[in-house]
Amino acid sequence: MNFYENIVILDPNLDEKATEEAIERVKNIIVKKGGDVFRSENWGHRKLAYDIKKHKKGTYVLILFKAPPSTIAELEKFYKVFDLALKFMVIKLGRKEIAKVMSPQLGESSLRPASLRPVEQEGLPARQGGQAGQAGSSGAEPAPSDSDKSVVDSTLREKEDKGV
């Protein structure tokens, strides 16, 4: 069995009871197919980046579960005919993501998608490489000194310690 993260955007016009019933329907499908639901979070109403089925807002729900791969096909069939779900996405979690999810000392904020730390680390070497290429041209700024690099490294370490 694999670990999955399911993010669903539900119709924002649903009341709290109807939203909970919709979440329970999804959980029941997972359990009936032999899966285990670890956590479900209602992230509330949020503005959508673009209109989906003539809605400008949606109710975001996160469900973390463990299930056999055949369950995903069943969930997708369900979502396609379930009118209350505006959008859905099921992601298979890797080993690092599973460790984060299953770690008890991490807070709820660790479940938010798209951490910024990998983007910053990827962007840093690309910027340094771009400066090295410009150093040979006339009138370019000098390459960063060792003290500049240590400031950047210490800033990145502080962000990692804070969990940003």
The CATH code of the domain that includes 39 is 3.30.70.60
Please indicate, yes or no, whether residues 122 and 102 belong to a single structural domain of this protein: no
3-state helix, strand, coil in the chain (%, to 5): 50, 30, 25
User: What would the mean pLDDT of 140-150 be, rounded to a whole number?
Assistant: 52
Please indicate, yes or no, whether residues 45 and 87 belong to a single structural domain of this protein: yes
User: Residue 90: enclosing H or E segment and its boundaries?
Assistant: strand 85-92
**Structural domain total, the chain:** 2
Of residues 63 and 102, more confidently modeled: 63
Question: Would you say residue 106 has pLDDT above 50?
Answer: no
Strand partners, 63: 6, 40
Please indicate, yes or no, whether residues 45 and 121 belong to a single structural domain of this protein: no
Of residues 100 and 13, more confidently modeled: 13
- Max distance between CA atoms of the chain, in angstroms, equals 68
Please indicate, yes or no, whether residues 44 and 61 belong to a single structural domain of this protein: yes
Separation of alpha carbons 52 and 87, rounded Å: 8
Show the tokens assigned to 143.
């390459």
Please indicate, yes or no, whether residues 74 and 106 belong to a single structural domain of this protein: yes
- The predicted pLDDT at position 96 comes to 85
Question: Would you say residue 42 has pLDDT above 50?
Answer: yes
Separation of alpha carbons 60 and 41, rounded Å: 9
Please indicate, yes or no, whether residues 82 and 127 belong to a single structural domain of this protein: no
Please indicate, yes or no, whether residues 60 and 139 belong to a single structural domain of this protein: no
Write the pLDDT tens digit of every residue in 44-97: 999 999 999 999 999 999 999 999 999 999 999 999 999 999 999 999 998 888
Domain that holds residue 146: 117-162
Please indicate, yes or no, whether residues 100 and 71 belong to a single structural domain of this protein: yes
Separation of alpha carbons 47 and 59, rounded Å: 9
Separation of alpha carbons 136 and 127, rounded Å: 15
